[in-house]
Amino acid sequence: MHVGRQPIFDRRGDVHGYELLFRGDAGAVEADERGAYATSRVLITAFTEIGIESLCGRGLCFVNLTREFLVGDLPLPFDHEQVVLEVLETVTIDDTVVAAVARLVEQGYRIALDDYVFGLGHEPLLELATYVKIDVLETPPDELVATVERCRKYPNLILVAERLETREQLEHTRALGFDLFQGYVLGRPQVVSGTALSPSRLARVELLGLLVGPGIPLNRVVGLVTSDPALSLRLMAAANADALGLPVKVSSVHEAVLLLGVDRLRDWATLMLVSDLDDPGAAQLSGAITRARMCQNIAERMEVPGEPAFTVGLISAVADLLGQRAAELATRLSLSHEVTDALVDGVGPLGELLSLVAAYEASDLPMLLAAPLPVEETALAYLDAVAYTGHIIAPRTRPTSP
């Protein structure tokens, strides 16, 4: 997974925020996909895989939006605190778009007009926008001066000079009174890459189906999410994202589902479907689900809460699949202290439990004999986990008729 980010600087030279850009691979220098698909991929990657804090720190992130996102045909499943919504210059401005942007502003979102050119129809949004971005490279000098003068009639606007490629252009826009600056002369887009599992497309379809019915079966929703490790990680990351403004850190899928709520869950499921990521194979998932379920089984025998135990097993297994340390993944997800301590330092009841499961997987008999749980019970916990995994995976891998 990859996402581009390009810094936007203020007049003092400090980073004001980053524009997030679609990138198909680590070596891409520009977007090879545009439209709703590209926007969905950027949002999914930024919020649930790499993490907004990793990409932007506490700064703002500017995200390009197509008409579908502006008018509500596709969801924006994140809070307004850290995000600036960029209205692309390709969006046709009509009464529907103006009304939709007004609603977004009422909800607290900041709006930026991207590649603004006077006379192309975006003027009705000047009263609503916070930022106006002007392409310095494509705008003739006289027109640039006139555009700045027109924009200054709106005291609410912050002017951004973009596509600055020379020091002369930078100094000229500073003299014209621009507030923010973006371009190659200051910083080229950087591609940030990471590794992630892809949730099963079938799981996302099933989840969306459960969330659009008249009655929401919470237990089935939680069961479906926990059956797919990648889906579990994404939703826990979404629930723990600072941009959602939630007051606590989650320690389980159940808590993530409750805190996100039906509307947020539905929005994220929809966005993941639009992003159209590839399905993982069943063999890739079975080991992760088995370890998570085994941790949960042993937790019940050790009088430890089962849901955080499932989370500890799940994240440690997914970290193995990704070739990452569990501590790195746990830190990025901002989980509860007990879960994080178990994954980072191996301490606490959950850390002891995870060590026991690791010993069983490694056939470490001396450690198993020294454990507080009889070896026979550990074996039973494993066999139950294997049966549980087979029950979950089998329906999704049954051969289809030609």
* 2-18 tens-digit pLDDT: 788 889 999 999 999 99
Residue 218 vs residues 225, 253, 303, 314, 386: alpha-carbon distances, Å: 11, 11, 24, 20, 24
Contact 22, 41 (CB under 8 A): yes
- Residue 203's SS3 state is helix
Where do the structural domains in the chain lie, given as residue ranges?
2-193, 200-396
Q: d(Cα 350, Cα 334) in Å, to the nearest integer? A: 17
pLDDT of residue 201: 54
Measured on CA atoms in the order 258, 264, 270, 272, is the torsion positive or negative? negative
Query: For residue 25, is pLDDT > 70?
Result: no
pLDDT (average), residues 47-73: 80
Domain 2-193, what fold?
Answer: TIM Barrel (3.20.20)
Q: What share of the chain is helix, strand, coil (3-state, %, to 5)?
A: 55, 10, 35
pLDDT of residue 399: 37
Mind listing the pLDDT tens digit for each residue in 368-394? 888 888 888 888 988 888 887 765 555
Beta bridge partners of 180: 10, 160
What the block records as the tokens of 155 is 């005291």
pLDDT (average), residues 334-363: 87
What the block records as the tokens of 48 is 């649930």
- Number of helices (H) and strands (E) in the chain: give both, helices first: 17, 9
Tokens 């301490």 appear where?
347
Contact 109, 80 (CB under 8 A): yes
Query: For residue 108, is pLDDT > 80?
Result: yes
Mind listing the pLDDT tens digit for each residue in 183-220? 999 988 777 766 555 555 556 655 655 665 456 677 77
Domain 200-396, what fold?
Answer: Hypothetical protein af1432 (1.10.3210)
Query: For residue 174, is pLDDT > 90?
Result: yes
Tokens 């975006």 appear where?
122
Total residues found in the chain within this entry: 402
What the block records as the tokens of 295 is 């941790």
pLDDT of residue 111: 96
User: Which residues, other chains included, contact 235 with Cβ-Cβ below 8 Å and sequence gap of 6+?
Assistant: 48, 225, 253, 256, 257, 260, 265, 268
Query: For residue 57, is pLDDT > 50?
Result: yes
Instruction: Provide the CB-side half-sphere exposure for 47 (13 A, CA).
Output: 29
